[in-house]
Structure 1
Amino acid sequence: MFRFMTGDDLRRMRLSCNRTTEDMAKKISVSRTTYEKYEAGLEQPTPAHAFALNIYCRVNIIPLFTQLRELINHFNQYKDFKNDKANTYRMPAEKKHRETESDEAEHK
């Protein structure tokens, strides 16, 4: 599972903006206990909650959006641009396209 923020990240962020766990929990409309579970690493906040907390603590999230844009651009190169669908020109599963030349020589 992709971990958006760790509990340590949340705790450092909260302390850097001088907020209590109660303040943070109220901001995202969860109980204080739930928020403390986030900080303890027992549960994970939703991405929307994590963004709201970043904005609440005035953390610069531009670098995150820059990284997301780079990922989108990277994976867009694998699209079939004629119809904007996922690449349909993949190698069939039955072909042994992963075998190297040395592997082929061993089989002969």
Structure 2
Amino acid sequence: MDKTIAVDSKIGLNVYKPFYKIDWQLNEGYIQFVYGKEIIVLGEMDSYYQIKKHVFSRIGLKYYFMDMDSSSKHNTYIGVFIDANLRQANFSELTVGYVHKFDF
């Protein structure tokens, strides 16, 4: 029984991402010390922010426990993925999934 490894990639458009603004301001900002006083400067929400907020990508590998070409209707897989905003990694993901083939 052969096993299958698949490469899965997606690119898309984020429509609603409510906390990305806060994340951007904190991560793109900096801390400044003036006369011993700490001043937090938030990141600017420029055109690069607008583009990066909306462009989504995901790439990863899936390992299927059974061959995808077999006559079996049931298959399970485990996968690892990296989700990103405009090529900058946002988070990594470990998935376990199930596939059912329907006869038409």
The TM-score with structure 1 as length reference comes to 0.29
**Greater relative CO (CA pairs within 8 A, separation 6+):** 2
The alignment's TM-score, normalised by the length of structure 2, stands at: 0.30
Structure ranking higher in strand proportion: 2
Structure of higher CA gyration radius: 1
